[in-house]
Structure 1
Amino acid sequence: MNFLNNFTTESIASGIVIIILMIFRIISTKLVRKFAKSTHIIENRTNLVIKYIHLLINILAAIALIFIWGVSSKEIISGITSVATVIGVAGVVMIAQWSILSNITAGVLLFFSFPFKIGDIIQILDKDFPIVGEIEDIGAFHVTIKNKEGEQVIYPNNLFFQKGVSILPNLHEEKEFTD
């Protein structure tokens, strides 16, 4: 009980931040699902974007709680410096993380720009390694394409923003069957 008497303001502010966190999570989920439903976006992609948005909201709430509970800026800076030092020492790991982050970011951009969908036939305009095939899956890190020979080609999301992509007419679209 002594804790609540000493930290009443911080406790109330923390409760408000947690309530706001839950409200933002619910609202963002509903908005993304509404957008996905209106544009006929696949459920997997919708869930992925919701996870990213929830992560961002959680990070912002954690930062707010840090400031509410009075962590000094000197402690925050020393923590950030320690993390930056560890990341700097692990340079090779950092390069791998950059690739992962760029693919995740590209996956989110592909979700919102929605240039193609599963089932579309695309041609990646690369003079050295042109790829023509049907999109089988669009994930957080890569797109799975099935080429004419039946091979699965895994293509990183970030390369879609570096190469030209043509959406070809689908000759196998479902047509109404008449007898």
Structure 2
Amino acid sequence: MFFETYKSELIISGFLIILFYLIRVIANTLIKKLGRKTGINDARIQLICRYSTVTLFLIWLLMEAFIFGTEAKDLALVFSSVFAVMGIALFAIWSILSNVTSGIIMFFSFPYKVGDKIQIHDKDFPVEAIIEDIRAFQLHLRLDNGDLVTYPNNLILQKAVTLVEKDAIDEGSDAI
């Protein structure tokens, strides 16, 4: 009975699933090519691919709701309620979201890579270290004395950074 009632919606949904799958494959391929071309490590590439997949899935859910006859005013009520609750919850974790957003921005436009020795010009905590890893929330920096420092992504985009030595790890540095 369900299949007979919603036959045309199910056919459209099938085409939509195929379309979004193709878009996902193309987007992930482009992200991987861009990441490898710019020398970004595979963990960060996978993270950005995951973010794009989740975004496409949410867009697919929205389109499915319209296909099955949900009215815009009903969706507006649901979204306004959900966003009100999320807004209150996200206000409490704004710094985490700030770091994740900064991590995405750094994926596409951060001029330094893993292995580069950088100097962060911070008046309270000046740092000169080798980038050991770039994660979703923070950079892992290895100081010359061997200590590991985690530096939040949102702060690295707010501070002046100087490249001290390109690929310090590859050139035989003893810092790590």
TM-score, shorter chain, exceeding 0.5: yes
Q: How far apart are 1:17 and its partner, in Å? A: 0.9
Higher-Rg member (1/2): 1
Q: How far apart are 1:38 and its partner, in Å? A: 2.1
Counterpart of 2:13? 14
The alignment yields a C-alpha RMSD, in angstroms, of: 1.8
- Determine helix, strand or coil for the equivalent of 2:115: coil
Identity of aligned residues (%): 39
- Determine helix, strand or coil for the equivalent of 2:123: coil
| Residues in 1 aligned to 2:112 and 2:52: alpha-carbon distance in whole angstroms | 22
What amino acid maps onto 2:164 in structure 1?
L
| Residues in 2 aligned to 1:55 and 1:160: alpha-carbon distance in whole angstroms | 26
- Determine helix, strand or coil for the equivalent of 1:150: coil
Once the two structures are superposed, residues 31-62 of structure 1 have per-residue CA deviations (whole angstroms, 9 ceiling, x without a partner) of: 11222222222111111111111111111111
Q: How far apart are 1:172 and its partner, in Å? A: 6.2
Q: 1:174 aligns with which of 162, 171, 175?
A: 171
Counterpart of 1:138? 134
What amino acid maps onto 1:144 in structure 2?
H
- Determine helix, strand or coil for the equivalent of 1:136: strand
Q: How far apart are 1:116 and its partner, in Å? A: 0.8
- Determine helix, strand or coil for the equivalent of 1:118: coil
Q: Are 2:41 and 1:42 equivalent residues in the alignment?
A: yes
Q: 1:98 to 1:20 in 2, by over 3 A?
A: same
CA contact (8 A) 2:116 2:169 kept: no
- Determine helix, strand or coil for the equivalent of 1:146: strand
What amino acid maps onto 2:4 in structure 1?
N
Counterpart of 1:61? 60
Counterpart of 2:145? 149
- Determine helix, strand or coil for the equivalent of 1:95: helix
Structure 1: 5+ residue runs without aligned partners? Answer: none
What amino acid maps onto 1:83 in structure 2?
V
Task: Give the count of matched residue pairs.
Answer: 171
| Residues in 2 aligned to 1:66 and 1:147: alpha-carbon distance in whole angstroms | 52
Structure 2: 5+ residue runs without aligned partners? Answer: none
Q: Normalising by structure 2, what TM-score?
A: 0.88
Q: Normalising by structure 1, what TM-score?
A: 0.87
What amino acid maps onto 2:50 in structure 1?
K
